[in-house]
Amino acid sequence: MAKTSTDRTTTDTIYVLNGPNLNLLGTREPETYGHATLADVERLCAETAAQFGLKADCRQSNREGELIDFVHEAHARKACGIIINAGGYSHTSIALHDALAAVKIPTVEVHISNIHARESFRHHSFTAMAAFATLAGFGIDGYRLAINGLAARIGRKASTKAKA
């Protein structure tokens, strides 16, 4: 177990939270979101987290309250970080922002598409205001980059063991 800057004992688990409509990845607007599925995202997150000795607990919900419950659970279980793609809730949910801000867990926001190159209502993100970093426009590779950034933030180094 690791210690955070607030001296609270944490686990080696990061929560990867995906919001509304992300269960449709691979079929929903592939010109915007690509052909990768949510299962592909979850596999990428598990593999990337493992390189840092971390476990990715991947969750998806189309319901705002359930995403907030996941954030609270991450706090109760002393997760060492959160990666969140809140989908449309990024732009509308003050409650999700407040949950992330309240738990004080290092958080990275991810968007598969470049939200700043899209409709103007997507240019503001409440969840970004509660995160230490935001990645947008890298496709699902943004999750890998987010985990790398989170690992650096919490002081985790990638394993030097050679892959088989």
pLDDT tens-digit profile of 98-142?
999 999 999 999 999 878 766 675 667 899 999 999 999 999 999
pLDDT in the model for residue 121: 59
Tokens of 96: 């999700």
* Phi, psi (deg, nearest 5) at residue 98: -60, -40
Mean pLDDT (the chain, rounded): 89
Asked if the model's pLDDT at residue 6 lies above 60, the reply is no
pLDDT in the model for residue 117: 62
pLDDT, tens only, 78-96: 999 999 999 989 988 999 9
pLDDT in the model for residue 92: 87
pLDDT in the model for residue 3: 47
pLDDT in the model for residue 30: 76
Active site residue 111: yes
Q: Which of 15, 75, 89, 111 is catalytic?
A: 111
Give the pTM.
0.88
Q: How confident is the model at residue 162 (pLDDT cuts 50, 70, 90)?
A: very low
pLDDT, tens only, 31-84: 777 789 999 999 999 999 999 999 999 999 999 999 999 999 999 999 999 999
Top-level class of domain 2-7+18-153: alpha beta
Active site residue 97: no
pLDDT in the model for residue 118: 67
Q: Which of 33, 75, 89, 97 is catalytic?
A: 33
Neighbours of 76 (CB within 10 A): 9
